Chain A
Amino acid sequence: MKGRYLISAVVVVLGLLAYFYFHPSEEKKIKKQLAHLSEYASKDAGESTFALARRLDHMGALFADRVDLKAPGYELSGTHTRREIIHLAARARMAFSQMTLNFHDVSIAISGEGMAKVSTTGRLKGMSTAGKRVDEIQSLEFSLQKDSEGRWFFTAVEVVEVLKK
């Protein structure tokens, strides 16, 4: 009798785990998109052209058709197509021989209409092609939109300006 209860409990726990694994929350889905962005933006030392193309292709798939970019102090601000975003990312990556981009302190606010705002700390670490060590931290805000199939796409990226000259 005791064994039957135990088996039932294990089945229930496994069922719950399977449910949460196959039905991730919206927050989890958004965090996964951020993790993908971090993975595809990062660059390994001696990255091959094939790996570069694959990563940029995957990165482009994370963005909506039109993306608003707001980066005070840089000449990137404006609305860009997905292709332009890929070009900008490729140009930025070319300045580094190796780099990693990580997101910390992720805070997500989801509105009812399939929109989400993400506030996070972006940390870019790496080595420039000129041999200079880079370690930059910025406060970032992302906007995402959900399509009819439940996938989230980045629609806006803003570098929060803390100090304005």
Chain B
Amino acid sequence: MAGKEIFRRFFFPTFTPAYLLRVSILAVSAYLFFGFICIPLAIRGKSMEPAYRDGGFNFCWSLKYAFRGLERHDVVFIRLAGPRVMLLKRVVALEGEEVEFRKGRLLVDGREISEPYIRERGDWDLPPRRVEKGYVYVVGDSRRALITEQYFGQTPVGRVAGGPLW
């Protein structure tokens, strides 16, 4: 009987002021939470494969770096255009570091960096360059394509919107 009553009240509620207030609070909270804190995003493109597949789904957790700074190997969302178009990339070098690619191997300050998340290394060659102050250097995990066809490089830390929830 009690279950039936709960079912009835859930699907056929009585529109009392208290009920409307609860619904309004829930709607505003959901808008704020999913609009600014935990933003749902569809993943398009293969630049982060195999970790993040084309056609996948995730959330941008914008509080991820509220209490800690960016670290190497962190996967981050970078605001590309407008509030909802973002790039999903991996941080490979931090400000002040010198980054380069030699025959597909990543070198930071002249030392080779292990990248266990990479399936196909490719043969990228990129002369050394220093990451500017307030910037991080980001690259996709998929290095199959030619270096000229890949979208990567340094970006202001301020453009990092957060990290994927999983």
Contacts and interface: CB of A to CB of B under 8 A. Distances in A.
Given A162-B87, A162-B159, A165-B126, A121 B152 contact: no
Contacts of A121: 81-82, 85
Q: How large is the interface on B (under 10, 10 to 19, 20 to 34, 35 or more residues)?
A: 10 to 19
Interface in B23-70: none
A104 B152 contact: no
A43 B87 CA distance: 27
B155 A105 contact: no
A165 B81 contact: no
Contact of A139 (B81, B89, B138, B152): B81
A105 B84 CA distance: 10
Interface in A64-104: 104
Interface string B83-95: 1010101000000
A164 interface: yes
A126 interface: no
Contact of B154 (A104, A105, A120, A164): A164
B83 A105 contact: yes
A157 to B, nearest CB: 15
Contacts of B154: 163-165
A57 B163 CA distance: 46
Contact of A105 (B78, B81, B159): B81
Contact of B82 (A105, A163, A164, A165): A105
Nearest to A164: B153
A12 interface: no
Contacts of B87: 162-163
A70 to B, nearest CB: 16
A137 B89 CA distance: 16
Contacts of A160: 81
8 contacts: A104-B82, A137-B80, A137-B81, A139-B81, A162-B159, A163-B154, A165-B126, A165-B154
Interface of B: 78-83, 85, 87, 89, 126, 129, 138, 151-155, 159
